[in-house]
Amino acid sequence: MDERYELIDSPPPVADYLRLRAESGLTPKRPDQARPALENSWAWCHVVVAASGAVVGMGRVIGDGGWYFHLADMATDPQHQRRGIGRAVIDHLLTVIEQKAPADPYVTLMADGPGVRLYESVGFVPSAPTTIGMVRRQLRAQ
């Protein structure tokens, strides 16, 4: 990531969180879903354009603080992709885990196709066949 960008060690504003999720291809969320995500994560960071302060990247860690840590909401504005922003975010979050978590943390993520190469480049490997990621679909409509 070059000097045009600045990594900030905090969550982005709710509006930017919602916009980045939608623009980067993640499932859109509502403000009532975003606020608890921003407030209750174990670690957060976001990236801004240094000259304007526009939020162009983000990521967070969900965790229990003991041994389990899950990377989530890794997103980069499509107009700013392929400039090292995602790499800077994941490197920062993994450093936070390394520095603040107890020894031997278990770090997971769910990888979308476009992110697989990035995650592999920092040491993530598919968990199957030992474990298989699973999801339970929505229980009730909103």
Domain ranges of the chain: 5-121
What number is the average pLDDT over the span 5-20? Answer: 97
CA dihedral 93, 99, 102, 105 (to 10 degrees): 40
pLDDT grade, residue 141 (50/70/90)?
low
The architecture that CATH gives domain 5-121 is: 3-Layer(aba) Sandwich (3.40)
Q: Would the pLDDT of 26 be above 80?
A: yes
Stated pTM of the model: 0.92
State how far the Cα of 57 lies from the Cα of 113, in Å rounded to an integer. Answer: 18
**CA–CA distance, 26 with 32 (Å, rounded to integer):** 17
Tell me the pairing of strands 106-109 and 5-8.
Answer: unpaired
Residue 127 and residue 123: Cα distance in Å, rounded?
12
